[in-house]
Chains A and B, each alone.
Chain A
């Protein structure tokens, strides 16, 4: 018994890495498709999306880099799909340099799926959505947007003059925006820019999406009413995708956006978490045994 605990005490960390890697590979190849239930946070977020009416302008701020994409892209996918369903005018921008590029990829995927599910509707750039690109300066951009968005964003991401875009014809300042959906991967996003300036100073409603790492610190803003709704990591992103429904044009049945890929990833999360917990339990048993019976 003592030798087992001695081995565990001096276990090479590469063995742990190997266990994690094997668990991920096996579960990806043989997923279980465990049930995902919709939590209160996901329902609240869906309600916030359903409050956006036809023709209303919303901002979706992509404030993350490739490191935040695994958790925030599913959120962005669900949000954009629902906004297109609601026929909102979607204005994409970002305070991180990689954000608008990542947005382009996500929007293309959403449009392909949306147009396949809704054969009668075509999503047009410049009319239904626009990508204004990246802007440095953080809160100073929001301050300027409160007066004149077109002065700070003179062109869109592709260099087209902003006055030539029909979607921006009735959007002149921040008060013309119904809601801001901020997807944040760290600093320079929801906490430092949108909440203190757009929400507190200019009273623009904000709904947020964040990574699991920073999720615990956002609950206080939900409690104080500063955030209308929050998606706290991959878990609620998957729940939102399950909650968003559409009618499949082929089968005429109600389907949801939860893809097999997202479902598989949720399963892998489960297995890796269980393995980490087992390792922690083994380490603690070994520690208690050593404490009780000595070295």
Chain B
């Protein structure tokens, strides 16, 4: 019970209070020095959190392969591409470096391979995955965007004015679209966004305080 709940909540409370006090500490004070040291440790622990994510991904896929899942082939592709990319990246570096053929090094064969995978596989795949959204936005707008009420009509008209104001053809049709669109974005939209931000920020601050005071323990992952 101590290790499961009490100790983590104590650490969370102490770190949270320290972070809040350290935020206001003046440079050169002992609190400020330790605040910066603890902040630096945070970045190292965050790196291990990423390792955890990758480790979990490998664990899930290895289990699927072991259990002869129907997507086994794809899991093998995932694991192989992960391990190959990681091998090239860790042994040869992530960025492009100059390889001197006259002065061969032990790990030369691994160099520049990770940057090649990034440039010709990762980047195109990621861009393409996200570009699918353009098609789905168009089809979703066609199917669902209806002026069923006054509010929906206002939403629709605003969307049209903003879209026309932000494309060259809109300003070619009528030069007034751009200033109206700009006004909507910098005044009306800004007011609505500010209200949403204020509400969200107050909610976030309350949630952070709940975490620090131990009233919220879901981040520990349950009993």
Report whether chain A binds chain B.
yes
Docked-complex contact A220 and B194, CB < 8 angstroms: yes
Q: Determine if A40 is an interface residue (Cβ-Cβ < 8 Å).
A: yes
Docked-complex contact A20 and B138, CB < 8 angstroms: yes
Binds A, one of B63-71, B73-81, B160-168: B160-168
Which of A34, A100, A222 is B172 in contact with, Cβ under 8 Å?
A34
Q: Number of A residues whose C-beta is below 8 Å from B?
A: 67
Q: Determine if B130 is an interface residue (Cβ-Cβ < 8 Å).
A: yes
Known A-B contacts A141-B43, A277-B163; the reply to A39 vs B145 at CB < 8 A is no
Docked-complex contact B186 and A17, CB < 8 angstroms: no
A contact patch SS: helix
Q: Give residues of chain A (34-83) contacting chain B, Cβ–Cβ below 8 Å.
A: 34-37, 39-40, 65-67, 69-70
Docked-complex contact A277 and B160, CB < 8 angstroms: yes
Q: Give residues of chain B (113-166) contacting chain A, Cβ–Cβ below 8 Å.
A: 115, 118-119, 122-124, 126-127, 129-130, 134-135, 137-139, 141-143, 145-148, 156, 160, 163-164, 166
Docked-complex contact A269 and B167, CB < 8 angstroms: yes
Q: Give residues of chain B (89-126) contacting chain A, Cβ–Cβ below 8 Å.
A: 93-97, 115, 118-119, 122-124, 126
Q: Number of B residues whose C-beta is below 8 Å from A?
A: 59
Residue numbers in A under 8 Å from B124 (CB-CB): 66
Residue numbers in A under 8 Å from B193 (CB-CB): 216-217, 219-220
B contact patch SS: helix
Known A-B contacts A217-B197, A270-B168, A284-B146; the reply to A100 vs B95 at CB < 8 A is yes
Docked-complex contact A34 and B166, CB < 8 angstroms: no
Residue-wise interface mask of B (183-221) relative to A, using a CB-CB cutoff of 8 A (1 in contact, 0 not): 001100110011001000000000000000000000000
Q: Determine if A22 is an interface residue (Cβ-Cβ < 8 Å).
A: no
Residue numbers in A under 8 Å from B36 (CB-CB): 143-144, 146-147
Can you name 30 A-B residue pairings with CB atoms under 8 Å?
A11-B142, A16-B135, A16-B139, A65-B126, A66-B124, A66-B126, A66-B127, A67-B129, A69-B123, A98-B118, A101-B95, A104-B96, A136-B46, A138-B46, A140-B42, A144-B40, A147-B27, A151-B40, A216-B189, A217-B193, A217-B197, A220-B194, A223-B190, A232-B185, A267-B168, A272-B138, A273-B164, A273-B167, A274-B169, A279-B138
Residues in chain A within 8 A of chain B (CB atoms): 11, 13, 16-17, 20, 34-37, 39-40, 65-67, 69-70, 98, 100-101, 104-105, 135-141, 143-144, 146-147, 151-152, 157-159, 201, 212, 215-217, 219-220, 222-223, 232-233, 235, 266-267, 269-277, 279-280, 282-284, 287-288
